[in-house]
Amino acid sequence: MNFRENLKNKQKIVIKIGSSSLIHEETGGVDFRRLEQLVRIICDLKNQDKDVVLVSSGAIGVGVQALGLKTKPKTVSLKQACAAVGQGQLMMIYQKLFMEYNHMAAQVLLTFDAITDAERRHNAENTLNELLQQGVIPVVNENDTVATEEIEFGDNDTLSAIVANLIGADLLILLTDIDGFYTDDPHKNKDAVKLSVVEKITDEFKSMAKGAGSSYGTGGMSTKIAAARIATDSGADMAIMDATDLGQIEALIDGEDIGTLFIANNDEEFDTVDFIVHKGYLK
C-alpha cells in the first residue's frame, strides 16, 4: 500500500508549529517570514476545501521580547506574565496575516482540565468543529497564563494530537527542528537512520526517542512519539517534518517522501483517553 499517496485525500488537517520555529533564537524576535509562509500555505489548503487547525506555540517567546527580557524566564509567574503579553500579540499577527488572504482565524486556548473533564472536553470539541463548519481557522494554544502544570511539563506536540482526536482529523503534521524520526539522535550519531514510514509504534521507539530542541522549545522526540500514539490511535496519520522549509508541507500532502509518516491504526488495547488523563506521555 502506498501510504504517502493517500495523503492527497486528507480533508481535516492539524498543523503544529513550535516556538523554536517561530522565534529567531539569536535575538528572540518573531520570524515573520516563516509565519507569513505558514499562513499562506494554510490558506491555500483552505482554498482546496480542506479543514485546517493550527496549533501554535510562541506566546511566551513573543512575550519575552515584548517585555525586553534577555532570556526565557524560569519562574512560573514570569512565564505566565510573558504568555499574557505574548498571546495577544501573537494572535494579532495571525489575524492580520490570515485576513490578507481573505480567511478568518479564531483563538482557542485550552487547559489540561478542558481535555480530561468530560463536559469541558465536549464543549471544546463542539467549539472547534463549529469553527471549522463556519470556515474559520482555529489557532490553538495552551492557556499558559493559568495552566502552571502545562508550562512546566506540557508541550504542544501532545496538545496537537489531542486536538486531532477532538476533531476527528485524518492528518497531523508536526513541524519541528528535525527532518523526521531517526533510529538515534542524528546530532550525536552519524549512523542514525531516518525512517520514512512507521506502520506501528512499538516499545522500541521509546528507546530510540531522543530529546531535541532549542532554548525556545519544550518538546523533544519522546513527546512526538507520544503524540503519534494519540494521533494514530485516533485515526489520523501523523508526519514529523522539518520546519525550515515550510514549502515541503505541500510536497508532503502531494505524496512526496518528506519527513517520517506514522500510519493510523485501530489499536483496541490502547486507551487514548486514559493515556491522556494519566499523562502516559510523561512516563
- Which tens digits make up the pLDDT trace of 39-68? 999 999 999 999 999 999 889 889 999 999
Q: What is the pLDDT of residue 260?
A: 95
pLDDT, position 28: 84
Are the beta carbons of 73 and 82 closer than 8 angstroms? Answer: yes
Q: What is the mean pLDDT of residues 21-39?
A: 90
Q: What is the pLDDT of residues 182-211, one digit of tens each?
A: 887 777 788 888 999 999 887 777 666 644
Q: Where are the domains of the chain?
A: 11-282
Of 50, 49, 56, 57, give the one whose Cα is nearest residue 13.
50
Burial 130-162 (b: 16+ CB within 10 A, else e): ebbeeebbbbbbbbbbebeebbeebbbbbbbbb
pLDDT in tens, 98-138: 999 999 999 999 887 777 788 988 999 999 999 999 999 99
Looking at the chain, the whole-number percentage of residues with pLDDT higher than 70 is 85
CA-based nearest residue to 91, from 109, 65, 68, 76: 109
Fold for 11-282, please state it.
Carbamate kinase (3.40.1160)
| pLDDT at position 40 | 97
**Percent over 90 (pLDDT), the chain:** 52
- How does pLDDT run across 208-248, given as a tens digit for each residue? 664 434 433 444 677 888 889 899 988 999 999 999 999 99
- Distances from the Cα of 122 to the Cα of 115, 118, 125, 147, angstroms: 8, 6, 5, 19
- Mean pLDDT across the stretch 70-96? 91
